Amino acid sequence: MRTIETERLILRDWRETDLDDMFICLSNPNVSLPQGSSPCKTLEECKQVLDYVILKKNNYAIVLKESGAVIGGIGLNEDAKGNARARNLGYYLAEQYWNRGIMTEALTAVIASAHEIADMLSATHNHNVKSEHLLLKFGFEQVDVIKNIKRKSDLEVHDEGYYILKLR
């Protein structure tokens, strides 16, 4: 994966040295619960997430240029249904950086660089109003509601809005 730079951010591959910064984000229930996952309780739990995003290679660490700190993540992972020209979008941001336009900046850059993708798909936890607002702002359309989801990392059964952005 290539590195993408914006005015305030560097989007780059994850590194083993990012574990502490990732843990700060993913141990915060205000960050993890709205995305439908339980908070990481230990560095070892978080290391499993880090190992996954390193292995998948389609995930960016969001690095704040001014400090060099990893403040979130954004990923374009393979479509669960096997469509080679579609990607599933996921993202999160450390709470102290919310409402500063950072995720808008990161998502703008990722969408602009997604040349080989025809469709970008995303799901939002039913209580994640901020994420839904962000997707709609970028032109994603809600196409479904997936009912009664409970993944291994989820604390409870929930619904998720399912969105699509047609790029090509």
pLDDT digits (tens, 9 = 90+) for 99-122: 999 999 999 999 998 878 888 888
**Tokens of residue 77, six digits:** 């992972």
Burial 38-64 (b: 16+ CB within 10 A, else e): bbbeeeeebeebbeebeeeeebbbbbb
d(CA 58, CA 79): 12
The average pLDDT across 81-97 equals: 89
- Domain ranges, ordered by start, for the chain: 4-166
Residue with tokens 């919310």: 98
Q: What is the chain's mean pLDDT, rounded? A: 88
d(CA 150, CA 130): 21
- CATH class held by domain 4-166: alpha beta
